[in-house]
Amino acid sequence: MSPEARLQHFVRGLIGGATAHRIDDLYATPDGRSADASTVRSLIADGTLAGSEFECRATAATRAWLKRARLDHDAFAAQHRILGSNAEGAQLNLAESPLTRLAAGDAAFLSRHHLETGERVRRLVERAQLLPRVTMSYSADRTAQAAHHKNDISDMATDARRAVGRIHELLPPDCASIVIDVCGFLKGLQEVERARGWPRRSAKLVLRIGLDQLAAHYGIGSAAIGPASSAHRGWMDAGARPTRLDPT
């Protein structure tokens, strides 16, 4: 989740009547929504929120601010969206992936084989049905189709969950968890570091170590290398020359 989306998520929780309390450098609501303290203090200063150094809550101006922020975010996202397709043909916004940002530029931290490995993990998590569902379908046709293919989907999800579990067996615990969180659930590196209490910029190092090991397991390399040329073989020893046999 981007910082802008996280802030909107936090403010939306306040509109419901919740009060957020200061915890270190964050303001957090009872249901777990949080935002940076410096950003919240700015919103308090301009009247968008009411509160103090210790707590904050919504005001009459909060709902209008949230509406403007959503419109601005949607317009910005549309301009910076990078569309692609996964193996099943579904459209993806490649700009959402933390790996894409780490692999951009001349001094990219990740390489192409890291991206391919991360995309494989993302597809596994998706097929395993581990991602939270944010929308509900009320279509009778889609409901009937889902019921008809329930067993097939369940088998596919079971196989994918075994593959995700295999990642935990192949990698050290920290590497496995960060690879799945960042590649599968698209969590930001700062979010991962904050949740684990890690120092800044340490998450991307652990991520690259995990992706390197997983790429080696999948047989994905940084360069395509064909099989070694086979040595020429013959029935004569090295250096031998043919001799003519006397027919008599």
| pLDDT confidence tier of residue 135, bands split at 50, 70 and 90 | very low
Q: What angle do CA 151, 156, 157 make, to 5 degrees?
A: 95
% of the chain surpassing 90 pLDDT: 32
Instruction: Grade residue 121 by pLDDT with cuts at 50, 70 and 90.
Output: very high
Local confidence band at 75 (pLDDT 50, 70, 90 cut-offs): very low
Q: pLDDT class for 147, splitting at 50, 70, 90?
A: very low
In the chain, the amino acid numbered 77 is A
Q: Tell me the three state secondary structure of residue 80.
A: helix
Asked if pLDDT for residue 153 goes beyond 90, the answer is: no
Range in 104-108, 124-128, 229-233 the model is least confident about: 229-233
Q: What pLDDT band is residue 220 in, cutting at 50, 70 and 90? A: confident
Q: How far apart are CA 174 and CA 178, in angstroms?
A: 6
pLDDT at residue number 22: 93
Share of the chain above pLDDT 70, in %: 67
Q: How confident is the model at residue 57 (pLDDT cuts 50, 70, 90)?
A: very high
**Is the pLDDT assigned to residue 23 strictly greater than 80?**
yes
Range with top average pLDDT, 80-84, 102-106, 178-182, 239-243:
178-182
User: Of the ranges 16-20, 96-100, 225-229, which is most confident?
Assistant: 16-20
pLDDT band for position 242 (cuts 50, 70, 90): low
Residue 239 pLDDT: 62
If pLDDT is split at 50, 70 and 90, which confidence band does 3 have? Answer: confident
Q: Which residue has the higher pLDDT, 97 or 45?
A: 45
pLDDT at 247 (0 to 100): 59
**Scanning the structure block, which residue is given the tokens 């279509």?**
139
Say if CB 57 and CB 50 are below 8 A apart: yes
User: What's the pTM?
Assistant: 0.49
What SS3 class is residue 129? coil
- Provide mean pLDDT across the span 74-98: 48
Phi–psi pair at 71, nearest 5 degrees: -65, -45
Please answer whether residues 109 and 97 qualify as being in contact, where contact means their C-beta atoms are separated by less than 8 angstroms.
Answer: no
Q: Does the pLDDT at position 85 exceed 70?
A: no
